[in-house]
Amino acid sequence: MGTWGTGVFENDAALDFSSALGEIGSVSEIADFLSYFLSGSGEYIEIEDGQEAIVAADFVARLISGKAHNEPSPGDAEGWVSSNADGATADVVKDATLALEGSLKNLLREPMAKLLRARNP
């Protein structure tokens, strides 16, 4: 049975992605993922890619602030943040912001469209 909830890490794809990030040890993997994600952001975004983009943006936000937010940290996120504290370059922050905006728009687009079609047959 999968994990599902409203939090950043309350789904299987996010937990898997964050676990992989914790094992990697550098921000370059996040930067590479964000570049990949943004290269196709004008197209349909698969839900797993969107969930992973939200996790990547959360990790970048943790790098900027140096701490976890209200969301519980998966695995050794705190250790990862402290060992990569200088990795939040302006380009990584910009890409994380764009990826987060694209993910949220895409994740909300289809449910809202269904709701509107249901109300206006």
Retrieve residue 62's tokens. 């943790």
- pTM (2 decimals)? 0.76
**Residue 4 is assigned to a structural domain of this protein:** no
Q: How far apart (Å, rounded) are the C-alpha atoms in residues 67 and 82?
A: 8
Chain center to CA of 9: 9
Confidence of residue 108 (pLDDT cuts 50, 70, 90): low
pLDDT at 39: 87
CA 65 to the chain's CA centroid: 16
In a domain, 1, yes or no: no
For the stretch 95-106, pLDDT in tens is 998 888 877 776
Stretch (H or E) spanning 96: helix 90-119
Contact 2, 10 (CB under 8 A): no
**Overall number of domains in the chain:** 1
**Residue 77 is part of which domain span?**
12-119
Candidates 45, 61, 54, 44; CA nearest to 15 is 54
> What pLDDT, on the 0 to 100 scale, is given for residue 42?
61
Q: Would you say residue 61 lies in a domain?
A: yes
Query: How far is the C-alpha of 11 from the C-alpha of 51, rounded, in Å?
Result: 8
More confident position, 46 or 31: 31
Mean pLDDT of 4-22: 79
Q: For residue 50, is it within any domain?
A: yes
Q: In the 8-state DSSP scheme, what is residue 74?
A: P
In a domain, 85, yes or no: yes
- Does 28 have pLDDT greater than 60? yes
CB 53, CB 77: distance < 8 Å = no
> 38 near 57, Cβ under 8 Å?
no
